[in-house]
Homo-oligomer: A and B are copies of this chain.
Amino acid sequence: MRGYSQSGSRFFMRFFMWFAGKEAAMLKECLENVRRTAPLIHNITNYVTINDVANVLLACGARPIMSDEAEDAAQITSVCAGLNINLGQLHKTGVEGMLRAGKRANELGNPVVLDPVGVGVSDFRRETAGRLLKEIRFTAIRGNASEIRALAEGRKTAGGVDADAWDAVTGGRLERDAAFAKAFSAQTGCIIAMTGSLDLVADASRCFLIRNGKEQMSRVTGTGCQLSGLMAAFLASNPGKALEAAASAVCTMGLAGELAFDRMREDEGNATYRNRIIDAVYLMTGEELERGARMELL
């Protein structure tokens, strides 16, 4: 029995390593496709982190363009390969541009990402998210655990734009969280990316757990917004592989946070960390991502 069990575990380890190697190679390929195709990404995003979103898109090899005016949103989207809609600091006057751009992207078959910033905090944000989800087919929804839950369950949250502690994805209930993410994906038809100290990226049948990232990233405003921008670029450059592309964007951002943290000096704080994270995306090679990604299928 002992022999059998050993060889069974050996077989499993080999299978696991073959699988993990294949996944890691796929993460690398997704990043390299962004670098190779330099997709133009239309961002309708909040003004707090709009500059960082532009610079992180340039860092990963994509090209950003910003327009939130209803008058030209659809035309801007028409020359782009992907669309990123972010509800942070939402304005009433901006909703029409989101709808027009989203519908145009749908017509073109371009990927569309929704980042429902603070969706549980106000009726206006929740109702706008509901309207967008009804009128636009999103490829992926990326938010923290509270935002995704607020979106799924229509409930309110108290923590502003951060996740409430009880919502966070933690080691203790991974299976339940993965089941929730898959079910919400099945319901919406979108890739669901719940990011935090642990990240889940799911479609209706599979859910990846990603362990990259650093707690200190939460002390830099807009790392989530940046990730949503990256995700639109990764989706645009990797058609037909939405789950893998989304997961690759999440690993890229998380690993950038780790590499940047290692480069911090003693006299540096969150503002320099902000720059170093974007720098790390800029410098990241496919090999680095392949080696550094910590992803597993749940």
A residues near B (Cβ < 8 Å) are: 40, 46-52, 54-55, 58-59, 63-72, 75-76, 79-80, 88-93, 118, 121-125, 158-162, 219-222, 263, 267-272, 274-283
With known contacts A50-B48, A58-B219, A221-B64, A69–B280 Cβ distance under 8 A: no
Chain B residues with CB under 8 Å of A72's CB are 90, 121-125
Check A54/B59 contact, CB under 8 A, given A66-B88, A79-B160, A161-B65: no
Q: Given A267-B279, A283-B269, answer yes or no on A51-B48 (Cβ-Cβ < 8 Å).
A: yes
Protomer copies: 3
Shortest distance between the CB of A13 and any CB in chain B (Å): 35
Asked if B282 and A267 sit within 8 Å, CB to CB, the answer is no
Name the contact of A51 in the complex, choosing from B49, B90, B124 (C-beta under 8 A).
B49
- Which residue of chain B lies nearest to A53 when distances are taken between CB atoms in the complex? B48
| B267, A271: Cβ atoms closer than 8 Å | no
Contact (Cβ within 8 A) B275 A271: yes
Query: Which residues of chain B come closer than 8 Å to A80, judged between CB atoms?
Result: 160
For the complex, what is the distance from the CA of A163 to the CA of B121, rounded to whole Å?
A: 38
- Distance of A133 Cα from B253 Cα, bound (Å): 43
Residue on B nearest A274 in the bound complex, by CB: B55
**Contact A89 B63, beta carbon cutoff 8 Å:** no
In the complex, the answer to whether A89 meets B66 with C-beta atoms within 8 Å is yes
Q: Which residues of B contact A122 (CB under 8 A)?
A: 67, 71-72, 75-76
**B residues less than 8 Å from A70 (CB atoms):** 92
B-chain residues with CB within 8 Å of residue A162 when the two chains form the complex: 63
Q: Which residues of B have CB within 8 Å of A271?
A: 55, 59, 274-279, 282
Given A75-B123, A269-B279, A270-B279, the answer on whether A66 and B50 have CB atoms closer than 8 Å is no
Distance of A270 Cα from B76 Cα, bound (Å): 25
